[in-house]
């Protein structure tokens, strides 16, 4: 720990062991989430907490912990709730991104992060073997992941790119689709192709696909495979089941990097089926070398109206949740 680190100690009040257990999570999982997001070290003995980090970060962490402790009296706390609180509070959104800003050269020009969260997302992809990009449409989750994959391929860091999506209908029934298997699954994978064509051009993408340097496939095709020296992207991961997510994550081989993207507010799974992405946020939150980037409406880089649409739906969802809890 650096010499200018601040140590801040405080005690929760009133002491309630059940609420403390709810706050910290299994094996301190919720504390690990706060540590990663705010860049602090959290130690505790019972209701006595000690925070170590920058003065700003320790104060922010104290605010998060005390607010969540108050919330724990009324509802159960899970990793997703902790992350959503941090997003809503905006405590980490303006934190400067450490290290050099990443620039990726493509056919259409230079791809770089727009705003602190996108910059940190690109840096996390460069530094970690497994990354999760979670948030609403238009925040650049998939686009920046594809750009990073192309950059890794052209630098020789990986030998191929594998782009994967679960073939789940987005609320509509598409009915019988004529053609072979590739033609049947093509509509589900079209957004991945669009990003590739924009960055590399149609002819080059076609040649790389023919040589199997780039593979675009439905998630079901990943079962039984081990992907070595590959850059693998799982898009629309909110529509995976827990079993599918586990299957995908265990495909990662030596020399490979994986990015998982999705929006937990846009789940198209049957009612009662738990999203593999929601589950992974909770299960994997304490594992080293796995990074989570949580985007929100203010990170949308599409038409300004899209940001306002996302905000409007978020406000309605929040209002419904509050009404149902009364």
pLDDT in tens, 22-46: 999 988 889 988 887 777 789 899 8
| Superfamily grouping for domain 105-295 | P-loop containing nucleotide triphosphate hydrolases (3.40.50.300)
Judged by average pLDDT, the poorest of 185-189, 240-244, 319-323 is: 319-323
Q: Is the pLDDT of residue 305 over 80?
A: no
**Region 181-210 average pLDDT:** 81
Find all residues with CB under 8 Å of 177, minimum gap 6, and list them: 183, 184, 187
Bridge partners (DSSP) listed for residue 260:
132, 234
Predicted confidence (pLDDT) per residue in 135-149, tens digit: 888 888 999 999 999
Q: What number of residues does the chain have?
A: 326
Q: What is the mean pLDDT of residues 97-101?
A: 64
pLDDT of residue 309: 82
Q: Which of 9-18, 53-62, 187-196 has the highest mean pLDDT?
A: 9-18
What is the C-alpha separation between 310 and 236, in angstroms, rounded? 17
Q: Inform me whether the pLDDT recorded for 174 exceeds 60.
A: no
pLDDT band for position 247 (cuts 50, 70, 90): very high
Q: Residue 80 in 3-state DSSP?
A: helix
d(CA 23, CA 30): 7
What is the structure's pLDDT at 299? 73
Q: How many other C-beta atoms are found inside a 10 Å radius of the C-beta of residue 10?
A: 14
Yes or no: say if 161 and 217 are a contact pair by the CB < 8 Å rule: no
CATH 3.30.365.10 fits 6-89, yes or no: no
> Regarding predicted confidence, which is higher, 269 or 318?
269
Q: 79-89 and 55-71 helices cross at what angle (nearest 10)? A: 120
Residue closest to 278 by CA, chosen among 254, 300, 260: 260
- Whether the CB-CB separation of 313 and 152 falls below 8 Å is answered with no
Q: Hey, how many other C-beta atoms are within 10 angstroms of the C-beta on 265?
A: 14
Query: Given a cut of 70, is residue 196 above it in pLDDT?
Result: yes
d(CA 88, CA 119): 20
By percentage, how much of the chain surpasses pLDDT 90?
39
């Amino acid at each position: 720990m650096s010499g200018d680190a601040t140590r801040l100690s405080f005690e929760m009040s009133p002491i309630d062991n059940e609420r403390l257990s709810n706050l910290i999570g299994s094996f301190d999982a919720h504390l690990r989430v706060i540590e990663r997001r705010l860049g602090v070290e959290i130690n505790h003995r019972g209701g006595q907490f000690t925070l170590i980090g920058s003065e700003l970060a320790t104060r922010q962490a104290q605010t998060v912990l005390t607010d969540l402790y108050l919330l724990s009296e009324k509802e159960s706390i899970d990793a997703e709730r902790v992350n959503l609180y941090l997003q809503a509070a905006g405590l980490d959104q303006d934190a400067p991104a450490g290290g050099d800003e990443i620039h990726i050269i493509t056919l259409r020009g230079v791809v770089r992060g727009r705003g602190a969260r996108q910059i940190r997302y690109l840096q996390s992809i460069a530094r970690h073997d497994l990354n999760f990009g979670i948030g609403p449409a238009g925040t650049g989750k998939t686009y920046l992941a594809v750009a990073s994959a192309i950059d890794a391929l052209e630098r020789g860091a990986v030998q191929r790119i594998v782009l994967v999506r679960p073939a789940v209908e987005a609320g509509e029934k598409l009915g019988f689709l004529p053609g072979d298997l590739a033609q049947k699954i093509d509509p589900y994978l079209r957004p991945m192709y669009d990003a590739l064509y924009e960055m590399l051009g149609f002819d080059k993408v076609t040649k790389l696909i023919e040589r199997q340097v780039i593979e675009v496939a439905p998630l079901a095709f990943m079962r039984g495979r081990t992907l070595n020296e590959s850059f693998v992207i799982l898009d629309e991961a909110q529509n995976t089941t827990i079993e599918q997510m586990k299957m995908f994550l265990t495909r990662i081989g030596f020399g490979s990097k994986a990015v998982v993207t999705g929006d937990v507010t846009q789940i198209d799974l049957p009612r009662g089926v738990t999203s593999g992405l929601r589950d992974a946020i909770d299960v994997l939150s304490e594992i080293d070398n796995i990074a989570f980037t949580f985007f929100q409406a203010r990170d949308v880089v599409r038409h300004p109206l899209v940001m306002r649409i996302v905000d409007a739906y978020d406000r309605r969802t929040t209002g419904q949740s509050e009404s149902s809890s009364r």
